[in-house]
């Protein structure tokens, strides 16, 4: 599925990820300073599910919403246009691993886990 290829590209070029906003088990972010995304982790009994939303700019928008506005609007239940992809719907191991890798990268960007661990083990 094409979304897996897109997410693998984002992972490979993670330096283009910016403006990461944490919201509970969800991260909103920009890719390449223009593409707005979020990824959410839903905890399951046996397997977690990951959901990726892409927020396209509407053709008729004079000033498109920022990623901050999108996160705020969704938090308050204001309608936002998006395309949704989930590991449960795609159902492949590759999709699950890709979505999980992206979630873990964003978690690290926000909380600096790699830096903390490297400091602890003195790398």
In percent, the amount of the chain with pLDDT more than 90 equals 80
Reply yes or no on whether the pLDDT at 123 is more than 70.
no
CB contact set of 14 (below 8 Å; sequence gap of 6+) = 105
H/E run at residue 17: strand 17-23
- CA R_g for the chain: 15
The burial of 88, by beta-carbon neighbours within 10 Å (0-12 exposed, 13-18 middle, 19 or more buried), is given as middle
pTM for this structure?
0.91
Reply yes or no on whether the pLDDT at 14 is more than 70.
yes
Reply yes or no on whether the pLDDT at 63 is more than 70.
yes
Closest CA to 26 of 78, 70, 91: 70
Higher-confidence residue of 65 and 37: namely 37
Domain that holds residue 34: 2-121
């Amino acid at each position: 599925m094409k979304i897996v290829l897109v997410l693998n590209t984002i992972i490979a070029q993670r330096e283009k990820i910016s403006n990461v906003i944490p919201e509970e088990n969800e991260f909103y972010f920009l890719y390449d300073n223009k593409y707005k995304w979020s990824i959410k982790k839903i905890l399951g009994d046996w397997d977690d599910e990951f959901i990726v939303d892409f927020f396209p700019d509407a053709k008729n928008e004079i000033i498109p919403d920022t990623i901050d506005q999108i996160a705020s609007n969704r938090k308050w239940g204001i309608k936002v246009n998006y395309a949704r992809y989930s590991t449960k719907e795609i159902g492949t191991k590759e999709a699950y691993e890709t979505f999980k890798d992206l979630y873990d990268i964003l978690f690290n960007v926000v909380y600096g886990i790699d830096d903390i661990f490297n400091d602890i083990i003195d790398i």
